[in-house]
Amino acid sequence: MEKLKKNVIAKGAANIYFETTVGIFSGYILWFLLTKLTTPEVIGTSSTIVSIAAIFTTVVLIGVNQGVQRFSARSFSEHRLGDTQVIVLSSLVLLSMGILFGVIAIIVFKDWIYNVNLDYNLIILSILLVVSSGFATLFRSIMISFLYTKSLPRIMVITSLCKIILAIILVLNGTGPSGIIAAYISTKTMAAVLLAWAVRIFLKEPKRFSNIKLILHSSRRILIASIASWIPALINVIGIQLGTIIVFGFEGASKAGIYIIAFSLFSAIAAIINSVFAIAFPALSAMPDGRKRAVCRLIKISLVISLPLSSSIVFYSDDIIIILFGKDYVDGSLVLKILLLSILPNTVTLGINSLVYSYGKYRYLLAIGLCSTIPRTAFSFILVLIYGSTGVAIAYTLGAIMGFIMSIIIAKKIGMLIVWRDLGLTLIIPMTIAFAIGNFQSSFILGVPATLVLSYGIFLKFHIINRSDIQDFVCFLPNGMTEPIINVIGMIKEKLNRYK
């Protein structure tokens, strides 16, 4: 990877991770406050509507949020604004068509889809949530494809604050689930407007209306690229969201809440990896060569950042959940442990997924997606009935392993070499250290930092990470922290070498 490209990916990933973290943290705050203001039934109903809306948002997007990035990234990086305008307009046309068919499907099949005794007003609100979420997601993907992510954290902070304030005001006025969903709709609409305005600024004012033939041709190309990612994405979101809905339906709001808390903690760790590859995909699409080397380094960096943290949390999950959320949620500890086991396979799969997509190898992309999402969805339906929320976590991890196996097969087909020694050691070393420290019955306040420090010390000692890796790693941090951290790590490595 060229230095400029590495910095762009790192800073972009840092912005996306901060955005994701703000979203997750604001969600914690919102639901925590709502537990003090309303009943579990209201929270459970609201969560169910949000899950259903998430499924239909994926349906109406038709994968356009991914497909558009492959073409807009290259055209924008080459300063072909006219072509980029056509691509963006084509993606909006496709999304509008998806929304139209999605709304018709919801209205026609509402009695079957919402077979949970929901009020008609909530069905209307869920449709509005799907529409607002669809446009917000598309405009966000377009901004990421431009490799400009500075505005994303700001927009997330603004909309998250508005969502919390508005939801509390509406719930206090006795609106119940309708008020919570209305708050979601308002902030998604606000995000869509702000992101659309940002896209308009980048593309500037179009000099003329685009030719309808160009739009149709562009729409066809985007649709072909989108379908490859849409089918596995749809199966994936159904597998994840249906887990919450089924737990809610079979075990009640309390068990569903426990699962949601555990999955949210896992999502905070996984967001590190997702952020890296969210910005990496458009960057890879714009690269003329060196993509395989870039992906190998990104996989390694993602694991170096995430595995020491996830390994330590595995052995301290009980304490972390009790301190953060109370003893009522301690049953989510096992769910969290099982989910964290999917970090390594998910990372490798995401990396290879981004690579084959950037090459336009849609069949490979589809194969990887289906191999992970079909088993995940199938096992979710089966295991949730046997093991409850733990069964959903098992299904999620099994899907990650199946996708990992297929991604390795695909990597071999395209000639991508994976350094298994480094990947294996990035998992074994922190897990061993966390296990050893955990046996001393130490507090997680000491155990987690100790695992991180010792893991990175051994990584340096045995050259699992080198100076180039360190520079890539600190690129994810604010600019003022980069040089001091490199100097400190250099001093540590020098001292470690004295004891060889």
pLDDT at 71: 77
Contact 430, 312 (CB under 8 A): yes
Instruction: Look at 332-341, 357-366, 449-458 and tell me which has the smallest mean pLDDT.
Output: 357-366
Q: Is the pLDDT of residue 14 over 50?
A: yes
CA distance 45 to 177: 7
pLDDT at 484: 46
Q: What is the pLDDT of residues 367-383, one digit of tens each?
A: 888 888 888 888 887 88
Which range, 278-287, 406-415, 488-497, is most confident? 406-415
- pTM reported for the whole predicted model: 0.71
Helix (H) or strand (E) holding 282: helix 212-286
Q: Look at 244 and 71; give whichever has higher pLDDT.
A: 71
pLDDT at 492: 47
Q: What is the pLDDT of residues 252-303, one digit of tens each?
A: 656 766 777 788 778 778 877 776 676 665 566 556 667 787 788 788 888 8
Please give the backbone phi and psi of residue 41, each rounded to the nearest 5 degrees, phi first. -65, -40
pLDDT at 482: 46
Q: What is the pLDDT of residues 92-111, one digit of tens each?
A: 889 999 999 888 887 877 66
Phi-psi domain of 204 (left: phi exceeds 0; alpha: psi -120 through 50; beta: other): left
Three-state DSSP at 145 gives: helix
Instruction: Look at 24-28, 132-136, 436-440 and tell me which has the smallest mean pLDDT.
Output: 24-28
What is the mean pLDDT of the segment spanning 448-452? 85
Report CA dihedral (84, 88, 90, 96) to the nearest 10 degrees: 180
The CA angle 388-392-394, to the nearest 5 degrees, is 110
Q: What is the mean pLDDT of the chain?
A: 78
pLDDT at 227: 81
Instruction: Look at 136-150, 190-204, 251-265, 341-355 and tell me which has the smallest mean pLDDT.
Output: 251-265
pLDDT at 15: 72
Contact 469, 499 (CB under 8 A): no
pLDDT at 442: 67
pLDDT at 358: 74
Which range, 146-155, 163-172, 278-287, is most confident? 163-172
Q: Is the pLDDT of residue 392 over 90?
A: no
* Residue 423 CA to its chain's centroid (Å): 22
Nearest to 69 by CA among 416, 370, 292, 365: 365
What is the mean pLDDT of the segment spanning 318-345? 83
Q: Is the pLDDT of residue 189 over 90?
A: yes
Percent of the chain scored above 70 by pLDDT?
A: 77
8-state DSSP, 481? H
Q: Is the pLDDT of residue 44 over 80?
A: no
